[in-house]
A and B are shown apart, each in its own frame.
Chain A
Amino acid sequence: MKMIVAIIHDHDSEPVSHALIASGFRATRIASTGGFLRRGSSTLMIGVDDEKVDEAIQLLKENTTATDEPGGRRGTLFVLDVKNFTQI
């Protein structure tokens, strides 16, 4: 199990969450600010099975839009290892 922490633009969060849900990923969205965007951003926490990490990252890449900011960065992704994952 892995957790993907994805920091993306606010306006991308809607299509991204829809795409994730449609593909069976569960995501938690946290409103956040600052960072390289200096405006509203969304932080998504996505719990993913090991072999599905690539699929989730692909979805994030497909559903974020390019911007005019330096470097044209659309988001930042951190993939963390999860020792224990329980759903109750």
Chain B
Amino acid sequence: MFPTPAEFHSAMQDPQEKPKTREHKLFPTPRPSVRYLVGVVVQVQDVRQASRAIEELGLPVTQLPSTGAFLGRRNVTLLIGLQEGMEQAVYDAIQETCHQRVEYVSTPIEGAPMPIPLATPITVGGATIFTLEIERYEEI
């Protein structure tokens, strides 16, 4: 006997086949106690990659919009809670994703009779990292 179309169809389908959805890694709970609070000042261009790289390590990242004092450029301050032993992994992730860039700022030439703008190259730093020790950490 030939199978009916419905039987044929179900036989052709692989019962092992899993639904093709992307698996999202949830942050493991409960997490080990956090020892350090890391503040990272990052250029806007690098924020996405940097926070993704850190989140891939299983650490939640909080972003605060901020402004640099010298050039007044917009940047983002990332707050990360760190367990003991995770420091180097986070520093490496930041190093890989945040780059130094040369930007040009127009400055008037001093002593010139007319204000002639001069493009001055300035290296805008990769990232600034502050690691602070935490006395107490709580999740509520």
Give the B-binding residues of A (Cβ under 8 A). Answer: 2, 5, 7, 30-36, 41, 43, 53, 57, 60-61, 64, 70-71, 73-81
Contacts and interface: CB of A to CB of B under 8 A. Distances in A.
Contacts of A5: 37, 79
Interface of B: 26-27, 29-30, 34, 37, 51, 60-65, 79, 81, 132-140
Contact of A80 (B29, B61, B65, B134): B134
A79 B26 contact: no
Contacts of A35: 60-63, 79
Contacts of A57: 138, 140
Contact of B27 (A30, A31, A36, A43): A36
Contact of A32 (B63, B135, B137): B63
A78 B27 contact: no
A30 B79 CA distance: 12
For B60, B132, B134, B140, the residue with the greatest tally of chain A CB atoms inside 10 Å of its CB is: B140
Contact residues of A: prevailing secondary structure = strand
Contacts of B65: 31-32
A43 B140 contact: no
B134 A78 contact: yes
B135 A81 contact: yes
Contact of A34 (B26, B30, B63, B132): B63
Given A7-B79, A76-B81, A43 B134 contact: no
Contact of A78 (B29, B81, B140): B81
Nearest to B66: A30
B37 A80 contact: yes
B42 to A, nearest CB: 12
